[in-house]
A and B are shown apart, each in its own frame.
Chain A
Amino acid sequence: AQRVTQPEKLLSVFKGAPVELKCNYSYSGSPELFWYVQYSRQRLQLLLRHISRESIKGFTADLNKGETSFHLKKPFAQEEDSAMYYCALLLSGGYQKVTFGTGTKLQVIP
C-alpha cells in the first residue's frame, strides 16, 4: 500500500539550529514527492517538490530511494519557519491524486 509516514508530531528547535523534518514513504513504483506547509492563519501551500530540485526559503529535500525517505532540511532555522509541514506522495494511476502524511509541527524557539 502507498503510505507516507512522518514520525514526529512536533519538532522544537532553537533559532539558528539545523532542522530536519522526517518523511518516509512506501511505494512500489517511481515516487514523486512534495512538501506542503501551513503557516499560522494561512492556507496550506506547496513548499517544494523533489523533481524541481530547488531550495525554497532555505529548505531542501532529497529523495533517497534506498531509504525510501524525503526528509526536509534547513541548515539554520528561523522563527518564521514555525508551521505545520506535510509530506505528500503522488499516487499511481490516471487521476494524479496525492496522499498526505500526518504532518509535523515545527516550532522554532527564539
Chain B
Amino acid sequence: DADVTQTPRNRITKTGKRIMLECSQTKGHDRMYWYRQDPGLGLRLIYYSFDVKDINKGEISDGYSVSRQAQAKFSLSLESAIPNQTALYFCATSDLGLAGGYNEQFFGPGTRLTVL
C-alpha cells in the first residue's frame, strides 16, 4: 500500500553508528507500529504509538528508541547499532476498529538493515 512509506529501503552501516529509520503515512491513522522480521522468528513488535503523545514499548524494545513527530510520522532509531540488529524492519499503521476493537494493520514495504 503506497500510503505507508519507509526510508531508507536498504541501509548498510557499521557497529556503533546511529541509525534512523523513518515511516510516513497518508492514511490518517492514529496508530503506528515498528516491527522487525528475522528468519524463523517472524515479526516482533519493537514499539507502538496510539497517538502523538502515546509511545509504548513492544516485546523487543532494548537498543531502540522511537519518535512520533506527527500523526503521520513515526521514526525508529538505533542509537548504537550492533550486528544482531541486522533485520528487515516494518512500519505499520492502523485505525481504531468498531467499538474500539482491532482493525487491520497496513504495512510499509520494509527497510533492510545490515549492521557490519
Give A residues with C-beta under 8 Å from B.
6, 9, 32, 34, 43-46, 49, 86, 90, 95-103
Contact count A vs B, C-beta below 8 Å: 49
Q: Tell me whether A95 and B56 are in contact (CB under 8 A).
A: yes
A49 CA to B103 CA in the complex, in Å?
10
Selected from B43, B101, B106, the residue in CB contact (under 8 A) with A96 is B101
Number of contacting residues on B, CB 8 A? Answer: 28
Main secondary structure of the interface of A (DSSP, over half): loop
Residue among A32, A96, A99, A102 with most chain B CB within 10 A: A96
Q: Tell me whether A46 and B40 are in contact (CB under 8 A).
A: no
Q: Tell me whether A43 and B102 are in contact (CB under 8 A).
A: no
Q: Tell me whether B105 and A98 are in contact (CB under 8 A).
A: yes
Whether, in the assembled complex, B89 has its beta carbon less than 8 Å from a beta carbon of chain A, the answer is: no
Task: Tell me the smallest distance from the CB of B100 to a CB of chain A, in Å.
Answer: 8
Q: Which residues of A contact B102 (CB under 8 A)?
A: 32, 90, 96, 98
Q: Tell me whether A86 and B50 are in contact (CB under 8 A).
A: no
Task: Tell me the smallest distance from the CB of B27 to a CB of chain A, in Å.
Answer: 13
In chain B, what residue has the closest Cβ to A6? B42
By Cβ-Cβ distance, the 8 closest A-B pairs, closest first, are A102-B42, A46-B104, A100-B43, A44-B107, A43-B107, A100-B42, A103-B42, A96-B102
